[in-house]
Amino acid sequence: MGSEHGVIVSINASPGGVPKRPVPSARVSAAGLEGDVQRNLKHHGGPDRALCLYAMERIEALQREGHPIAPGTTGENLTIRGLDWDTLAPGAVLRIGGVTLEVTAYAAPCTSIRPSFADLDSNRISQQKHPGWSRLYARVAGEGVLQTGDAILRLPSGGPFGD
């Protein structure tokens, strides 16, 4: 597989809950995005769910279906464009500036994001019901500052995290 490139469209943070609002830049660490707080730490946050990612292409497709979704309304920290979302899965490794992320899991939809959907059915982005439409969780290797517009490079799997 050749290298794959993308870009950060929006960095989203919230003092608690959704929607998350755009910020021009933010420091990231193993604990997540600085200035971003999750209300329910049982289901959100922690080192393996430090960041939540979603594809702008998926948001635009959902908007065409009539859903009022927008960057940050489903709680993602990074809205990205240009990567093949169908092939991103746990184990994928991304480099964004000096920050390296490893995708760890599909993010299950929760009730707090229901307003992003015309029928209030957040299962529209459930990996089990609609494969390829889920948001993704990632863990962070090393700290760094991310900015809107930063380039994203998909690295060969088995990157800096090992087994």
Domains of the chain: 4-155 (2.40.33.20)
List pLDDT tens digits, range 65-107: 999 999 999 999 999 999 999 999 999 999 998 899 999 999 9
Percent of the chain with pLDDT over 70: 90
Beta-carbon contacts of 88 under 8 Å, excluding residues fewer than 6 positions away, are 103, 136, 154
User: Does the structure show a pLDDT above 90 at 157?
Assistant: no
List pLDDT tens digits, range 122-156: 999 999 999 999 999 999 987 899 999 999 999 98
* Residue owning tokens 């604990």: 31
Cβ atoms 61, 129 nearer than 8 A = no
Tokens representing 115? Answer: 């307003």
User: Does the structure show a pLDDT above 80 at 117?
Assistant: yes
Average pLDDT for residues 13-31, to the nearest whole number?
92
The CA radius of gyration of the chain, in Å to the nearest whole number, is: 14
pLDDT at 162: 47
The one-character DSSP state at 152 is: E
pTM above 0.85, yes or no: yes
Using CA of residue 1, residue 48, residue 12, residue 59, what is the dihedral sign? positive
**Helices vs strands, H then E, count in the chain:** 1, 11
Beta-carbon contacts of 130 under 8 Å, excluding residues fewer than 6 positions away, are 123, 124
